[in-house]
A and B are shown apart, each in its own frame.
Chain A
Amino acid sequence: MNIDWDDIIDDLGPRLYRYFCVRFNSEQADDLTQETLIRLVRKVNEGKFDPNRGSLKMLSFGIAHYVALESKQLDQHDSIEDWQDGLADQHDLEAVTITNNMASKLREKLHLLSSIEQQILSLFVDEELTLHEISIILQIPEGTIKSHIFRAKKKLIQMVQKEGVV
């Protein structure tokens, strides 16, 4: 199978890097991206890539998902259960962040989400990955992914409001 790896890296490298940046610092994201690309090359060279089962892009993000799992050291300082204050059901995240310029604080709270919620949000960084592809990568039904996103957003809004922003 003839693959121009330079072109592949030009395409996938930045995307994988952005994916890792959601949950890791820049230096770690750099190393993890390289590790993912190396494993991708190995898989292809070992004949383990079947284009009929999915694209190279999906395979790379699937590998990235497992690389992130291997590397992630959960260091939970807070439990999301600590954020107990009541909240009205409907809140617009955009209104909260724009009004109070709390987008960066919101992102700081990402690590307080559950592991699966972080994994899902990380994959959504890549705008080209569809919900269907993400469900294949994570081996989770699409409906479950949507539920996780809904809960993650709700938690993040609670966190921001807890800090007395709204």
Chain B
Amino acid sequence: MKDHDLDILLAEYRTKKPTDFQMRKWKNAIRQEQKPGAKHEQTSKGQSNNQRIWLQLVAATILGFIVGALVFKTTPKENSFQQMAETESDNATIEYVLTKTN
């Protein structure tokens, strides 16, 4: 489609040329791509992203277990209250201990 106005508008772009260096760079890139076993950049990026996500998931799970264990371990059990009460008095109850400690 010949359009005089478009020719004017795009004239400057039509004169743009890549340098010899750029041409050599592209050809080298294509040669690398042609080599057997050439890694596809996009594919390898995708794979490393998946690996990262799984690692994050595992790390978060482990961290969750650790935090959970710490939280539950520090939460005093009823038995510990009872044991603590009994050191003070043989007949002491949990309610007695709680009252005393609060």
A residues within 8 Å of B by Cβ? 5-6, 9-10, 13-14, 17-18, 21-22, 26, 30, 33-34, 37-38, 41-42, 45, 92-94, 97, 103-104, 106-107, 121, 124-125, 127, 130-131, 146, 149, 153, 156
Contact = CB atoms under 8 A, between A and B. Distances in A.
Interface of B: 1, 3-6, 8-14, 16-18, 22-23, 25-27, 29-31, 33-34, 40
Interface of B is mostly: helix
Contact of A5 (B6, B16, B34): B34
For the residues of A in contact with B, the DSSP-based class is helix
A17 B16 contact: yes
Given A17-B22, A103-B12, A38 B6 contact: no
A69 B10 CA distance: 20
Contact of B8 (A34, A97, A125): A97
A66 B4 CA distance: 28
24 contacts: A9-B23, A13-B18, A13-B22, A14-B17, A14-B18, A17-B18, A18-B13, A18-B14, A30-B25, A33-B18, A41-B30, A41-B34, A97-B8, A103-B9, A103-B12, A107-B9, A107-B13, A124-B3, A124-B6, A125-B10, A127-B14, A131-B1, A146-B1, A149-B3
B26 A37 contact: yes
B27 A6 contact: yes
Given A125-B13, A127-B14, A149-B3, 10 more contacts: A6-B27, A13-B22, A14-B23, A17-B22, A41-B30, A42-B33, A93-B8, A97-B8, A125-B10, A153-B9
